[in-house]
Amino acid sequence: MELFYESPLYALAAGVPLCVILVAIWFQTGTHKLLIATLAVATVTIGLVFMESAVKTPRERIYETIFAIADAVEKEDFETAVGYVSPESEIVRSQALNELNKYEISSISVKNNLVVVFDNSTAPLTARTGFNVVVKGSARQLGINNQTVPRYLEVTFQYHATNDAWYVKSYGHTDIREGIQIEKRLREQRDN
């Protein structure tokens, strides 16, 4: 069922062709029961599309968190960005803030190879993510001006039931070539 919550394409891919087939058969036969069936299928399809937009799965909420962090970093609102770090992870929070303050970031782009793997054996629930980002910015103290840098990020999120939110528990970044191996491992874990 989670499949229908994450994308309206599945409901549309099933519902629209079925409606077209039912209408085509109705035109040929004139059987009014087919028209009623068409309306029922159309209603269910529309209902599934609305349900998809109304329900946010844990995976979608993690995506939203990642993009909110990227947006805050791009605006150089580092306090907001580290606000997504777990309150229990002060070391991670200060590490991230120190790292972010070294740079003047003009743009950040999260690429579409985002992988999320949930670990249901932990309490509270955690999820490991991996994805590429391309950051454009400067580090004046290092003599770097307006450079584009691709990186692979691996971020572990932890669910906090008290405020119904996903927080960064840990993170790391590496060269995108090394990230290919990490991404492959995450995809294998997700698919098992």
Q: Which CATH number covers residue 110?
A: 3.10.450.50
Same domain, 32 and 86: no
* pLDDT of 65: 96
Provide block-wise average pLDDT over 10 residues at a time, the chain (192 residues): 74 92 92 93 92 87 95 93 94 92 91 89 92 89 84 94 94 84 78 71
Residues 80 and 150 in one domain: yes
Same domain, 110 and 26: no
Query: Do 108 and 175 belong to one domain?
Result: yes
In terms of domains, do 81 and 138 share one? Answer: yes
Residues 122 and 97 in one domain: yes
Q: Check residue 4 and give its pLDDT.
A: 67
Please tell me whether residues 171 and 85 are part of one structural domain: yes
d(CA 115, CA 127): 10
Q: Are residues 107 and 165 located together in one domain of the fold?
A: yes
What confidence score (pLDDT) does residue 93 get? 94
Residues 103 and 48 in one domain: no
Total number of domains in the chain: 2
Do 62 and 122 fall within a single domain? Answer: yes
> Containing domain of residue 37, as a range?
2-54
Q: Are residues 31 and 78 in the same domain?
A: no
**Are residues 136 and 152 located together in one domain of the fold?**
yes
pLDDT of residue 68: 96
pLDDT of residue 1: 56
